[in-house]
């Protein structure tokens, strides 16, 4: 079985829904308490746990499937920025490891990727997540931390990992439908009528 970025994220969503539902419930309950506002939740990309929480909130508020999908895919408007942030963070992590624990850095060094930009990638609109990203096989041979962050280079595999895929959310919404719908799922984890009423009172006018 071949796992690509879209199917991996779908598996993450399924796991969160059915294995970590207590964490979802905790987050949702926080939204029902007015003293918690103003309230922000987020992630670098918002394509898995944050995206799933947004999906459930919008479903609870009565939004239709098209609106939920549109909201989820807005992540892709910032995909290249997200990718750049990921690469800089990766660079800084390796740099810190090299400075604080050089022996550990040398043990890890063979796995350090040499990031590169593939300018031939046609763009998000031409990629539906149906094909796995290419393996990053380039290794950095030198035994010293890179001097400059890779902010001028983008690895295609990392970029594809920074985007949200339509197929992931469609799978998730279908999964919720198989449970009787998002509201039925929410009720099954302990977020039922009273909690929904409190959420609606706070988030709608």
pLDDT tens-digit series, residues 108-125: 766 655 554 444 444 444
Complete domains list, the chain, with CATH? 5-77+163-203 (3.90.190.10), 79-160 (no CATH)
Give residue-wise pLDDT tens across range 15-69.
999 999 999 999 999 999 999 999 998 877 667 889 999 999 999 999 999 999 9
Please tell me the distance from the alpha carbon of residue 134 to that of residue 41, in angstroms, as a whole number.
32
Rounded mean pLDDT, 162-173: 87
- As a whole number, the mean pLDDT across the chain is 78
- 123's CB contacts (< 8 A; 6+ apart) are none
Please tell me the distance from the alpha carbon of residue 56 to that of residue 184, in angstroms, as a whole number.
11
The pTM of the full predicted model, rounded to 2 decimals, is 0.66
Res. 155 pLDDT band, cuts 50 70 90: low
CB 51 within 8 A of CB 72: yes
């Amino acid at each position: 079985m071949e796992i690509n970025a879209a199917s991996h994220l779908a598996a993450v969503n399924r796991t969160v829904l059915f294995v970590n539902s207590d964490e979802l419930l905790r987050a949702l309950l926080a939204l029902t308490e007015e003293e918690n506002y103003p309230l922000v939740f987020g992630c670098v990309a918002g394509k898995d746990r944050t995206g799933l929480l947004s999906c459930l909130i919008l479903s609870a508020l009565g939004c239709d499937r098209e609106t939920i999908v549109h909201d989820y895919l807005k992540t892709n408007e910032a995909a290249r920025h997200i990718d750049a942030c990921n690469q800089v963070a990766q660079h800084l992590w390796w740099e810190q490891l090299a400075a604080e624990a050089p022996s550990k850095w040398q043990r890890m060094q063979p796995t350090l990727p040499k990031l590169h930009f593939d300018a031939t990638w046609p763009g998000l609109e031409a990629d539906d997540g149906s094909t796995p990203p290419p393996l990053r096989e380039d290794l950095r041979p030198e035994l010293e931390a890179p001097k400059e962050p890779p902010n001028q280079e983008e690895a295609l595999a990392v970029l594809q990992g920074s985007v949200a895929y339509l197929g992931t959310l469609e799978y998730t919404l279908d999964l919720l439908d198989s449970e009787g719908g998002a509201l039925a799922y929410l009720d099954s984890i302990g977020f039922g009528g009273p909690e929904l009423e409190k959420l609606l009172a706070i988030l709608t006018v």
